[in-house]
Amino acid sequence: MQSMRLMATLGVAAFASLIQPAQAQEPIRIGVMFPITGPISAQGRPERDAIKQAFEEENNIIAGRKVELLYEDSAGRPDTGLTKVKALVERNNVHLLVSELVSAVGAAVAPYVNEQKIPWVSTVALASLTREMKSPYIFRYVPSSYQYATAAAESAKKLGWKKVYLIGWNAPPGRETHEALKKAFGPENVIDAMFPNVGTSDYAPYISKMDPSKADGVFAAMWGADAPRITQQYVEYGLSKKMPLFGIASFTSEELLGDMPPESEGLLSSYTYCGTLDTPENKAFVEGYKSRYKELPGSYQYMGYMAAKMVIQAIKDVNGKVEDRQAFTNALSKVQVKGPMGMTSFDENRGMVGDFYALKVVKGPDGRLQNSCGERIPQVKDPYHLFP
Amino acid sequence: MMFWVLQSLNGISYGMLLFLLASGLSLIYGLMKILNLTHGSFYLLGGYVGLAVLHLTKSFILAVLLGSLAIALLGVVMERFLLRRLHLQEMPQTLLTFGLLFIFSDLAMLIWGGNPQTVPKPELFRHSLDIGGMVYPSYRLFIIGFGLFVAAVLWWVQEGTRIGAMVRAGVDNEEIARALGINVSLLFTLVFAFGAFLAALGGVMGGPIVGVYPGADFEVLLLGFVVVIIGGLGSLRGALVGGLIVGLLDNFGKVLFPEFALFTIFAPMALILAVRPTGLFGKE
């Protein structure tokens, strides 16, 4: 009886070892969830498209294994996002996730992903992902709010700014930008910080409160369609001539420039993507995106594209064996990729590190607004020492 | 000083937009006793249709006219084929308009997508005025003038014309108005369509300032109700005064107590409800 059981076990083991190679031929399944409908869809859809582009450049075969992208729509809502991620993990058995850009969705999904031990390269700027969460499975390929706001403050200081205004969303990125500015300029030099609710359409009350004789410039920490809207109103109230406006993070992202008023020439920013940067990698990225989707890529597309590039390199480094999550996440934390903006990698807490550029909106040769790339700020890292 | 002038102008121009919205809401309730929750959709759809017309024809005047007329037509259809069946049944009517609010909201999302859009200003009002160092967008001043103009026209129609007299009669006592030979049924359709027209007008005219975006329908509906609660349901004067009060409260609330922006609107509303449940100009 004992030996019978032993033989059966051995038999099963032998059978399992036989089917092992067949299992390795199974495609690598990657969950790609972005807000495809809802108010953030204008950013979510193109970012997803750029991820698709990165995998297409590899013909969807990496290290000899076919790659299958499984798309979901979070609608930018935490509850929907969590349901969809659960479906990707439990029904579709994805090996890893390259997903999301909305902070609230990121915060809702993170504990579940950590519990399930699914490697996730997120494009959510949530600072807590690489702080309180610190899950070995969660990577963040987008600067955190502290990271981009500190970089912006440093850029502005180089322009001689000493006293500043801030107008930002009444949400974690806006509030964290405030913290970073207070640290960089000194709390007394942030003359006033205003936090309209997300989705405020009329900024007139806030803008007409700003006094150009009291400050050197204004930081704006709001994104998507709110960026052109506040720029428009800033111009209308005659402030753009008296006091420069500095957009935080993706404020001047290429897809938004078309909606900016012509007078927004001179708008400043500092971020990890500059559309007109002259590198072969950037040319390839821009051309590839343009030929597929008939538009110029902006910073959202860049994040998605690079998040995918990091994953592709890590899959190559483990020879396609993504089932070994330990080995895969180890490889991912060591990955270094030369992308459109130069070398980039993950830091010790799995947050993105890469070059930033001082940006200025100018009129391009075709008369349309574009970002001109100013000074390169090498290898900007999340300032953990300032904001633990 | 300049600060107060600037901020007051901001508040008044926003108040005028709210007046356009609330006057229709108020008229419809006054005559038909319908709490029209679809009014927010009228505002949003007006903005979207106006924007589409503007892209096609490049004419702001045509955008305003066609956008508003299209929504007025929608109002006619809605009143004739849906609301009419539920005459004087307040709860089913409210629920019907509530359901339509959601349906239109999703339809708008389907057709125009989730990306917020801004209506470009008419060429004439694209610049800003510089009055003694105070820079102010001329379009907002135009909105103030336009709002006052609409208020004057409405007042004249209500007080000085035959149709206005018929509406007033209908508001006071529907049955007697019918007995006197007034075609109240036609009047209902007209007033409902006109209310929709005014809301859509607010949507197109407000487009260059607040933009057209998913969720605007719910937002303006909420503010529109605050306006009619403060001003009094069924009163045009109430809609104008209420609109100005809410516009100014909203603006100064945001500036002076940014952390309590909504509180500065709803606290006065609660106060007025407690002291005068019918609003400032509402009938007992």
Residue in B with minimal Cα distance to A239: B135
Count of pairs with CB atoms under 8 A, one residue in A, one in B: 86
| Burial bucket for residue B276 (CB in 10 Å: 0-12, 13-18, 19+) | middle
Contact B215 A196 (CB under 8 A): no
Nearest to A201 among B113, B114, B210 (CB): B210
Query: What's the gap between Cα A178 and its chain centre?
Result: 20
Q: CB-based contact (8 Å) between A258 and chain B?
A: no
CB atoms within 10 A of CB A355: 18
- Chain A neighbors of B12, CB-CB under 8 A: none
Cβ of residue A198 closer than 8 Å to a chain B Cβ: no
Instruction: Tell if the CB–CB gap between A225 and B211 is shorter than 8 Å.
Output: yes
Q: Domain ranges in chain A?
A: 23-143+278-350, 146-271+355-380
Chain A residue closest to B117 (CA)?
A225
Model ipTM? 0.75
Residue B182 within a domain: yes
Q: Is B86 inside a domain boundary?
A: yes
Q: Is the pLDDT of residue A2 over 60?
A: no
Q: What is the pLDDT of residues A358-381, one digit of tens each?
A: 999 999 998 899 999 999 999 999
Q: What does B148-189 look like in DSSP terms, one character per residue?
A: HHHHHHHHHHHHHSHHHHHHHHHHH-HHHHHHTT--HHHHHH
Using an 8 Å Cβ cutoff, are A218 and A177 in contact? no
CATH of the structural domain A146-271+355-380, one choice from 3.40.50.2300, 3.30.465.10, 2.40.50.100, 3.10.290.10: 3.40.50.2300
What pLDDT was estimated at residue A22? 45
Q: Determine, yes or no, domain membership for B250.
A: yes
Q: How many domains does chain B have?
A: 1
* CA–CA gap between residue A35 and residue A44 (Å, rounded): 5
- In a mutational test of the A interface, the residue from B112, B140, B143, B209 whose CB has the highest number of chain A CBs within 10 Å is B209
Residues of chain A in contact with residue B135, where contact means CB-CB under 8 angstroms, are 236-239
- Confidence at residue A13, expressed as pLDDT on a 0 to 100 scale: 54
Q: Does A192 touch chain B (CB under 8 A)?
A: no
- The yes-or-no answer to whether A23-143+278-350 and A146-271+355-380 have a common fold is yes
pLDDT in tens, chain B (284 residues): 788 888 999 999 999 999 999 999 999 988 888 999 999 999 999 999 999 999 999 999 999 999 999 999 999 999 999 999 998 888 999 999 999 999 999 999 889 877 778 788 888 888 888 887 788 999 999 999 999 999 999 999 989 999 999 988 888 888 899 999 899 889 999 999 999 999 999 999 999 888 888 888 998 999 999 999 999 888 889 999 999 999 999 899 888 887 777 788 899 899 998 999 888 988 76
B284 part of a folded domain: no
Q: Which CATH architecture has domain A23-143+278-350?
A: 3-Layer(aba) Sandwich (3.40)
Partners of residue A201 in chain B, C-beta under 8 Å = 116, 209-211, 213, 216
CB of A339 within 8 Å of a chain B CB? The answer is: no
- Domain boundaries, position B269: 2-275
Residue A30 and residue A311 in contact, taking contact as beta carbons nearer than 8 Å: yes
Residue B59 Cα, gap to closest chain A Cα (Å): 19
Contact between A204 and B115 using a beta-carbon 8 Å cutoff: no
Indicate whether B103 belongs to any domain: yes
